[in-house]
Chains A and B, each alone.
Chain A
Amino acid sequence: MMTLNRYIIYLVVSFALLMVIFPIYVLFLIAFTPAKYTVDSVFPLLYPGGFTLANLIVAVKSFGLIGPTIRSVETATLVGSIAVAIGLPAAYGLNRLPRKTANTVTATLFLANMLPAIVIAIPISAEFISFHLYGSVIGLALAQELVVLPLTIFLLQGAFSSIPRDIEYQARVDGAGLLRTIFTVLAPLAKAGVAAAFLLSWMISWDEFTFAVILNPANPTLPIIIYINLFRGNILASSAFALILTVPVIVLTAFLQRYLKGEYLTGGLSG
């Protein structure tokens, strides 16, 4: 019985893995195999029929890959930076509130996350036009902050709550002002949490679609350019772009693994 149970578990795990890995495999297959074996074939091969970099080169040359990539990197980096810059003092403040109050505030912050993004995006774009933020990287980054910031604050709150209060008092007595204490003493001690918050924000922004398509249609980011090319039937270009979209996520996730421990994800609810 034991062995049978074990085989069933292996089977289920293998199937789950296959579900996750297979689409990525297909993506790589289309990107690096000559089109005649894949998208131009009636019966596409499920193994590499050949190898070519031509798909990528064409995509870069004729479909304007550079612009959206740079824009996506800019937006994601801005989102991550703003999230940490605002999230740190916010998380600090919430940690100093009575736990009940803090939990209520954190829950309220997630309100924007509960609403469909499209519902929020429309009023935001109306406001942004009057602020001259519409169609700009900064504008998009600020809109994405709505989704990202509650998560960041939640994460950082957890990271802060594990630092003894005496350290903070000591820094104040030693002559550091409040902001200095937060950024030069507490943040380095919570660096795992800060790194996790930054990377998570970066990744959320990286593949964010709704805000990007509504707030910045003229200067598309990577997910938007993939969508546009798919719509036009440029499957090869889409898959090349999708590859560029995927690789950083895989690398960052691998990097993030060491930070994604329970203690950082319990947020302000721990202790």
Chain B
Amino acid sequence: MSKLELIGLTKTYGQKIVIEDLSLKVENGEFFVILGPSGEGKSTLLKIVAGIEKPTRGSVIIDGKDVTELPPDKRNIAMVFQSFALYPNMTVKQNIEFPLKMRHLSKQAIEAKVKEALRLFEIEDLASSSVTKISGGQKQRVALARATVRDPSLFLLDEPLSNLDARTRFAARGELKRIQQTLEQTFVYVTHDQKEAASLANRVGVLHKGKFEQVGTFDELAQTPITKWVGEFVGEFPMSFLPGSFVGLDNNVEIGFNPYWVTEGDPGIECLVESVEAIGNDLYLFCSVNKGDKVIIKARAKAQVGEKTSFRLDRYLVFKDGVLISKI
């Protein structure tokens, strides 16, 4: 039995279709990331799972039980919002207690669980501080502590790291993965950040036009995108595309390749270096082929803007009408 199952979900606002006939299964203990550019309905999808928004059609099944008609408080889920949504009139401790109090646990049980949560997130010192007076990273811990203090069936996280500064975000990312593994719980996580998806997810679903364009591990998505759109969106760099004629194919197909699938050097496809970007020890060249097509290739040696260079393709994917047809 899957932990979460979405069947034929559709959500429309008037004429606008946000989610269209979307189906998904998330297994127990999985860290599932919903990845997509902003405005693709990621948050809407998560809100439908939480019960905050009602789907126009389709069903949401948690632990084998159809919860489509249930309000959020009857679904036994935990959620962390991008804004953390801490109750500003309560202390850290009161915030963490809140979901337990709503479930009428005994005083001793609440005390014990809150203490455990405070310890797990290393925020014991803050217990009686007001949540308006703590830092962003601390707020995130409190929000996570509040989400994990009870045993929900499912954790939903809506870009929980995007309000943190770069340094804190890096640390928080690692911590999030550790927490998920410690708790052995199922996480559904929404983000537009490639790095978060790459480092956190067991599986990633790329949301585009209200549907999952592709679902798989991050590597699968980056290495074998099944559509041109996924190739352009997923990965550190977008995939480069050239007409099929460059490798002796028909011109009604396109070839796509990642920057590190090429070897620079003669003879090969000639291109003009337009800009150079260094990432770590690697150098990437942004070039134009035949003036029109832009490609990104990993450079062997230093190159200057305006220089000509050429490269050979070690591997590439063939797309027809934007869809992957073969792998070479």
* A172 part of interface (Cβ distance < 8 Å): yes
User: In the complex, what distance in Å separates the CA atom of A191 from the CA atom of B75?
Assistant: 29
Give the number of chain A interface residues (Cβ < 8 Å): 18
User: In the complex, what distance in Å separates the CA atom of A163 from the CA atom of B232?
Assistant: 39
Q: Which residue of A lies closest to B103 (CB)?
A: A175
User: Which of A54-62, A66-74, A177-185 lies at the interface?
Assistant: A177-185
Binary flags per residue of B161-189, CB closer than 8 Å to A gives 1, else 0: 00000000000000000000000000000
* A170 part of interface (Cβ distance < 8 Å): yes
Cβ contact of B73, chosen from A164, A166, A175, cutoff 8 A? A175
Residues of B within 8 A of A176 (CB): 73, 98, 102
* B71 part of interface (Cβ distance < 8 Å): yes
Residues of B within 8 A of A167 (CB): 85, 87-88
* A188 part of interface (Cβ distance < 8 Å): yes
* A189 part of interface (Cβ distance < 8 Å): yes
Residues of A within 8 A of B102 (CB): 174-176, 180
Cβ contact of B85, chosen from A166, A178, A180, cutoff 8 A? A166
Contacts A174-B146, A175-B73 hold; do A169 and B85 have CB atoms under 8 A apart? yes
Task: Bin chain B's interface residue count.
Answer: 20 to 34
Residues of A within 8 A of B146 (CB): 174
* A254 part of interface (Cβ distance < 8 Å): no
Residues of A within 8 A of B297 (CB): none
Q: Tell me the minimal C-beta distance from B131 to chain A in angstroms.
A: 11
User: In the complex, what distance in Å separates the CA atom of A164 from the CA atom of B87?
Assistant: 10
Contacts A166-B83, A169-B52, A169-B81 hold; do A174 and B98 have CB atoms under 8 A apart? yes
User: In the complex, what distance in Å separates the CA atom of A175 from the CA atom of B102?
Assistant: 6
User: In the complex, what distance in Å separates the CA atom of A173 from the CA atom of B83?
Assistant: 15
* B78 part of interface (Cβ distance < 8 Å): yes
Which positions 65-98 of chain B face chain A at CB distance < 8 Å?
Answer: 71-73, 75, 77-79, 81-83, 85, 87-89, 98
Q: Tell me the minimal C-beta distance from A111 to chain B in angstroms.
A: 30
Contacts A176-B102, A180-B102, A189-B88 hold; do A170 and B81 have CB atoms under 8 A apart? yes
* B318 part of interface (Cβ distance < 8 Å): no
Asked if B87 and A169 sit within 8 Å, CB to CB, the answer is: no
Asked if A185 and B87 sit within 8 Å, CB to CB, the answer is: yes
* B192 part of interface (Cβ distance < 8 Å): no
Residues of A within 8 A of B72 (CB): 169, 172-173
User: In the complex, what distance in Å separates the CA atom of A169 from the CA atom of B89?
Assistant: 16
* B50 part of interface (Cβ distance < 8 Å): yes
Asked if B85 and A172 sit within 8 Å, CB to CB, the answer is: no
User: In the complex, what distance in Å separates the CA atom of A176 from the CA atom of B103?
Assistant: 8
Chain A CB within 10 Å, residue with most, of B78, B82, B85: B85
Asked if B103 and A170 sit within 8 Å, CB to CB, the answer is: no
* B29 part of interface (Cβ distance < 8 Å): no
Residues of A within 8 A of B77 (CB): 173
* B136 part of interface (Cβ distance < 8 Å): no
Binary flags per residue of B216-238, CB closer than 8 Å to A gives 1, else 0: 00000000000000000000000
Q: Which residue of B lies closest to A185 (CB)?
A: B87
Asked if B71 and A172 sit within 8 Å, CB to CB, the answer is: yes
Contacts A169-B81, A173-B77 hold; do A188 and B89 have CB atoms under 8 A apart? yes
Asked if A170 and B85 sit within 8 Å, CB to CB, the answer is: yes
User: In the complex, what distance in Å separates the CA atom of A174 from the CA atom of B146?
Assistant: 9
Q: Which residue of B lies closest to A169 (CB)?
A: B52
Which positions 1-54 of chain B face chain A at CB distance < 8 Å?
Answer: 47, 50-52
Q: Which residue of A lies closest to B80 (CB)?
A: A170
Cβ contact of B89, chosen from A172, A173, A175, A189, cutoff 8 A? A189
Q: Which residue of B lies closest to A175 (CB)?
A: B102
Q: Which residue of B lies closest to A174 (CB)?
A: B99
User: In the complex, what distance in Å separates the CA atom of A174 from the CA atom of B82?
Assistant: 16
Asked if A173 and B103 sit within 8 Å, CB to CB, the answer is: no
Asked if B73 and A173 sit within 8 Å, CB to CB, the answer is: yes
Residues of B within 8 A of A178 (CB): 71
User: In the complex, what distance in Å separates the CA atom of A166 from the CA atom of B43?
Assistant: 12
Asked if B87 and A173 sit within 8 Å, CB to CB, the answer is: no
Listed A/B pairs (18) with beta-carbon separation below 8 Å: A166-B81, A167-B88, A170-B79, A170-B87, A171-B87, A171-B98, A172-B51, A172-B52, A172-B72, A172-B73, A173-B72, A174-B146, A175-B103, A176-B73, A178-B71, A180-B102, A189-B87, A191-B89
4 new A-B pairs (CB below 8 Å) besides A174-B73, A174-B146? A169-B79, A173-B79, A175-B99, A185-B87
